[in-house]
Amino acid sequence: MENLASYVGSRIRKLRESRNMTPEQLAEKLSVSRVAVNRYETGARKANQDILFDLANIFHVSINDFFPDSTTSYDSQNLIDIYDQLLPERQHNVYSYASDQLKKQKNAYSSTLGEDKHIVYIYGAVSAGTGEYIPQDETQLEKVVVTGKVPDHDFAVRVNGDSMEPVFTDQQIIFVNKADKQEVRNNQFVIAEVNGEFFVKKFFTNDDEIKLISLNKKYPDIIIHDYDDFIINGVVVI
- Whether the predicted pLDDT of 111 surpasses 70: no
Instruction: Determine the pLDDT at residue 1.
Output: 40
Domains, the chain, in order of start with CATH, read: 4-70 (1.10.260.40), 74-106 (no CATH), 110-236 (2.10.109.10)
Give the C-alpha separation, 225 to 210, whole Å: 8
Cis bond upstream, residue 166 (ω within 30): yes
Give the C-alpha separation, 29 to 124, whole Å: 28
List, for residues 119-161, the tens digit of each pLDDT value. 888 888 888 776 666 665 556 678 888 888 888 888 889 998 8
Mean pLDDT of the chain: 83
Instruction: Determine the pLDDT at residue 43.
Output: 86
Q: Which pLDDT band, with edges at 50, 70 and 90, does 76 fall under?
A: low
Q: Which pLDDT band, with edges at 50, 70 and 90, does 197 fall under?
A: confident
Given a contact cutoff of 8 angstroms between Cβ atoms, the answer to whether 224 and 194 are in contact is: yes
* Residue bearing the bigger pLDDT, 100 or 82: 82
CA distances from 4 to 1, 131, 137, 234 (A): 8, 28, 18, 19
User: Which among 142, 145, 174, 155 has a CA at the least distance from the CA of 233?
Assistant: 155
Strand blocks (E) in the chain: 110-112, 117-127, 142-147, 155-160, 173-178, 189-194, 197-205, 210-213, 222-224, 230-236
Output Rg (C-alpha) for the chain, integer angstroms.
20
List, for residues 151-191, the tens digit of each pLDDT value. 888 888 999 888 999 999 999 999 998 887 778 999 999 99
Q: Which pLDDT band, with edges at 50, 70 and 90, does 114 fall under?
A: low
Instruction: Determine the pLDDT at residue 63.
Output: 85
Instruction: Determine the pLDDT at residue 136.
Output: 56
- Whether the predicted pLDDT of 71 surpasses 90: no
What backbone torsions phi and psi does residue 84 show, to the nearest 5 degrees?
-65, -25
User: Which among 167, 136, 134 has a CA at the least distance from the CA of 237?
Assistant: 167
The three-state secondary structure class of 221 is coil
Given a contact cutoff of 8 angstroms between Cβ atoms, the answer to whether 237 and 175 are in contact is: yes
